[in-house]
Amino acid sequence: MSTEVEETRRIVLLRHAKSDHPEGMTDWDRPLAERGRRDAPAAGRWLAERGIAPDLCVCSPAARTRETWKLAAHELPHRPATVYEERVYDASYSTLLAVLRETPDDVRTLLLVGHNPGMHSLATDLAGDGAPDSPHELIRDNFPTCAIAVLTFASPWTTVADGIGDLEASWTPR
């Protein structure tokens, strides 16, 4: 017999930290800028301080997302299994939604590390409308580099859709 607590799932969306733009480097290979290397560990500390412990991380394999995740994960008490998924790189909302829907049933907290504009669309569309002065205000108009949105919902991963999530918290480094 399952209880509502057992059915609750959490999605943690983390946009990569501020990246550098070296001349002649492909978008895929861009590293983090100095500010990004400061902000990414702060994102990990924020998650750890709130007891948010991902069971699985799905990360874009681009250099800046990998570096963001490595620096953030170092701040967590337990590093979850990590899958580097090419579809997350420069993904649209619908592609990111498809990735979420493929999450294994035993995962209760999934952390997704990706790029805008898809991550911003995912955060706002999954959360739906929120009250003024709620965590929605931090992500409604912008999802800056290294921003985090934490959404909860009580249904299987296969049913993730617009408005299904409750935006529990959001954070930005600035």
Q: Give Dmax (Cα) for the chain.
A: 58
Residue 5 has pLDDT above 70, yes or no: no
- Residue 141's pLDDT is 76
Amino acid 2: pLDDT: 43
Do residues 87 and 58 touch, judged by C-beta distance below 8 A? no
Helices 93-101 and 118-127: crossing angle in degrees, nearest 10, is 60
**Structure confidence by residue, pLDDT tens digits, 128-167:** 765 444 455 556 678 899 999 999 999 999 999 999 989 9
Average pLDDT, the chain: 91
Tokens of 151: 């959404």
pTM as predicted: 0.92
Provide the pLDDT for residue 128. Answer: 73
- pLDDT band at residue 4 using 50, 70 and 90 as cut-offs: very low
Q: Does the structure show a pLDDT above 90 at 9? A: yes
- Calculate what percentage of the chain has a pLDDT beyond 90: 81
Cβ proximity of 69 and 115 under 8 Å: no
CA distance 108 to 129: 24
Pairing verdict, β 9-15 and 81-84: unpaired
Query: Helix or strand or coil: residue 14?
Result: strand
**Domain residue ranges in the chain:** 10-17+27-171
pLDDT at 174: 82
So what's the pLDDT on residue 136? 52
Exposed e or buried b per residue across 12-45, where buried means at least 16 C-beta atoms within 10 angstroms of its C-beta: bbbbbbbbeeeeeeeeeebebbebbbebbbbbbe
The CATH architecture of the domain made up of 10-17+27-171 is 3-Layer(aba) Sandwich (3.40)
- According to the model, what pLDDT value does residue 122 have? 93
- Least confidently predicted of 2-16, 30-44, 64-78, 129-143: 129-143
- The identity of residue 136, as a single letter, is H
- pLDDT at position 138: 59
CA distance 20 to 53: 29
The per-residue pLDDT for range 23-61, each reduced to its tens digit, is 999 999 999 999 999 999 999 999 999 999 999 999 999
Identify the weakest region by mean pLDDT among 2-6, 93-97, 127-131, 153-157.
Answer: 2-6
Using only C-alpha atoms, the chain has a radius of gyration, in whole angstroms, of 15
Pick the closest to residue 62 from 92, 25, 99, 96 (CA basis). 25
